A = this chain, B = another copy of it.
């Protein structure tokens, strides 16, 4: 019996943006904040409180882990975080959940009445 990804769903906006920021490559905390803002064109901004609360929760759930990498020439204060395998599955599942929600939303808004007269 494995971890059920659906247990965490639906992901909060904060968690989703953190996972998306980490999906491309591992990042440090400050980088996650910047990447989330960049990916959302400035529409979504994470403060440090939200970031670390979520990071803690995501690490406890085995979705994110810390990596020990320390590339030369970089700021030594940086601590890197990355998605685990489970994390990628959770993200993929959340994305398809959102796709289904949007499909339903469009159907409802475009007047596709399921109503049978």
| Pairwise interchain contact B95-A105, C-beta atoms closer than 8 A | yes
| Pairwise interchain contact B112-A23, C-beta atoms closer than 8 A | yes
Q: Interface 1/0s, chain A 91-117, versus B by CB < 8 A?
A: 110010111111011101101111000
Interface residues on A, range: 20 to 34
Looking at chain A's contact residues, the main secondary structure is helix
| Pairwise interchain contact B20-A104, C-beta atoms closer than 8 A | yes
A43 within 8 A of B: yes
A-B contact pairs, 10 of them (CB 8 A): A10-B13, A10-B44, A16-B101, A20-B105, A23-B108, A25-B112, A40-B100, A95-B105, A95-B106, A98-B98
A residues with a Cβ closer than 8 A to B are 6, 9-10, 13, 16, 20, 23-25, 39-41, 43-44, 91-92, 95, 97-102, 104-106, 108-109, 111-114
